[in-house]
Amino acid sequence: MHYLDNAATTRVLPEAAEAAVHAMCEGFGNPSSLHKMGIEASHLLEDSRKTVASALGCLPEETYFTSCGTESTNISLRGAAHLHRHKKGRIITTEIEHAATLNTCKQLAAEGFDVVFLAPDRTGHITPAALEEALTADTVLLSCQLVNNEIGTVQPVAELGALLKAKAPGALFHIDAVQGLCRVRLTPKKWNCDLMSVSGHKIGAPKGIGALYAKKGLRLPPLMFGGGQEKGMRPGTEPLPNIAAFAKACAVRMAHFDEDYAHVAELAAYLKEQAAANLPDAVCNGQGDVPHVVNLSIPGCKSEVMLRVLEGDEVYVSSGSACSKGRQSGVLRALGLPKARTDSAIRVSFAPFNTKEDVDAFIAAAKKGVKMLRR
């Protein structure tokens, strides 16, 4: 089996699974309980918060646990908008965001906010000039990805954040860092970032756990109401097994950050080299600033058909965001690529456990697919 769809989700790390099992079977107290088991669970919760905060580049008191990146993004965008619900000012985002951002912003537009979607340049980047043109005095929020989940471009968040604060100092800056966690060193304060979303299952933690960075002193209205856990930002009994697993995954991945990055970069270079030699008309889409996401098109080979061919040889990739469920990529469309390119796009995404043998299996299966589909 050759799993190359790690931008969709990752295999749970053994260390993370062990941490989850321990929290489920041994340290299973409720962190809000006042007896010994509750206090021990509370200590595990706060130790985990410190570990995740370190990976986020922020303070533990700025780190809130959620169920996923989508929830963190919804808390951020809807919370920031609610702070300005009477003003109904401008919200700026981009055309190439994850559905969690795009659909939340569309809903806010339906509620009367002035929402602007910035177009990327041909390489998949949002330029400061594009942001400056969209900024108005009543801008209340900017939201953009750090790393694009389909083409791997890294946005110039430091420049965008500095420009936002200079032109609209009262506006909040939200970054979707789901694909950046443990792949790019996160420095929210240097980026003038107020809110940042991450998710655990992209780095070897189980599905169902995420985190939200909220700048110290910033209080957003919650989406839900309950017992006041997570300082009221995200009430509900904390899923301690998932949190412990998330913290362990962060610890493992950050401890091996440099060697993992170098290994994945070597795999990405090898993939492009082998594609050029064996799939001569294949072309890469987007600039691909991070190595773990490589998006390429094989003209004349429909993505959904090629995926079935690859799956037959136990090679697992995707045609884009898992959340799009096979729909044509809005990201590639926003780049202005011709339909033949978007219809034949394949995303290969790596994790540290991948090897050159996985790449070889992909190339061999893709060659077979080309032969079949161009018969």
Domain 2-10+257-373 has CATH 3.90.1150.10: yes
Report the C-alpha gap between 334 and 323 in whole angstroms.
17
Residue pair 102/148 in contact by the 8 Å Cβ criterion: no
Report the C-alpha gap between 308 and 300 in whole angstroms.
15
Residue pair 249/204 in contact by the 8 Å Cβ criterion: yes
Least confident of 221-225, 331-335, 349-353: 221-225
Just list the catalytic residues: 323
Q: Note the pTM of the prediction, 2 decimals.
A: 0.94
Whether residue 92 is predicted with pLDDT greater than 70 in this model: the reply is yes
Cβ neighbours around 106 below 10 Å, total? 14
Residue pair 298/285 in contact by the 8 Å Cβ criterion: no
Angle at 280 between CA 314 and CA 292, to 5 degrees: 50
Report the C-alpha gap between 271 and 45 in whole angstroms.
40
233 burial level (CB within 10 Å; 0-12, 13-18, 19+):
buried
Beta-bridge partners for 296: 284, 346
Q: End-to-end CA distance of the chain, in Å?
A: 27
Whether residue 369 is predicted with pLDDT greater than 90 in this model: the reply is no
Task: Please give the DSSP secondary-structure letter assigned to residue 290.
Answer: S
Cβ neighbours around 333 below 10 Å, total? 14
Residue pair 347/7 in contact by the 8 Å Cβ criterion: yes
- Residue ranges of the chain assigned to CATH 3.40.640.10: 14-254
Cβ neighbours around 38 below 10 Å, total? 14
Which of 256, 241, 251, 253 is CA-nearest to residue 206? 241
Q: What is the pLDDT of residue 300?
A: 87
C-alpha atoms less than 13 angstroms from C-alpha of 73 in its C-beta half-sphere: 23
Q: What is the pLDDT of residue 87?
A: 80
Q: Tell me: the pLDDT tens digits for 206-256? A: 999 999 999 999 999 888 888 888 887 888 889 999 999 999 999 999 999
- Residue ranges of the chain assigned to CATH 3.90.1150.10: 2-10+257-373
Q: Tell me: the pLDDT tens digits for 187-201? A: 999 999 999 999 999
Q: Which CATH architecture has domain 14-254?
A: 3-Layer(aba) Sandwich (3.40)
Give exposure, 62-97, as e/b (b: 16+ Cβ within 10 Å): bbbbbbbbbbbbbbbbbbbbebbeeeebbbbbbebb
For residue 302, CA distances in Å to 176, 209, 245, 307, 331 come to 30, 34, 38, 9, 17
Which of 305, 185, 155 is CA-nearest to residue 253? 185
Q: What percent of the chain has pLDDT over 90?
A: 81
229: left (phi over 0), alpha (psi -120 to 50) or beta: beta
| Sheet with strand 283-284: strands edge to edge | 283-284, 293-297, 345-349
Q: Tell me: the pLDDT tens digits for 294-322? A: 999 998 899 999 999 999 999 999 986 55
Give exposure, 303-319, as e/b (b: 16+ Cβ within 10 Å): beebbebbeebebbbbb
Q: What percent of the chain has pLDDT over 70?
A: 97
Cβ neighbours around 247 below 10 Å, total? 28
Q: Tell me: the pLDDT tens digits for 19-39? A: 999 999 998 998 878 898 889
Report the C-alpha gap between 58 and 94 in whole angstroms.
25
Report the C-alpha gap between 149 and 349 in whole angstroms.
9
Report the C-alpha gap between 196 and 326 in whole angstroms.
28
Computed over every residue of the chain, the mean pLDDT equals 93
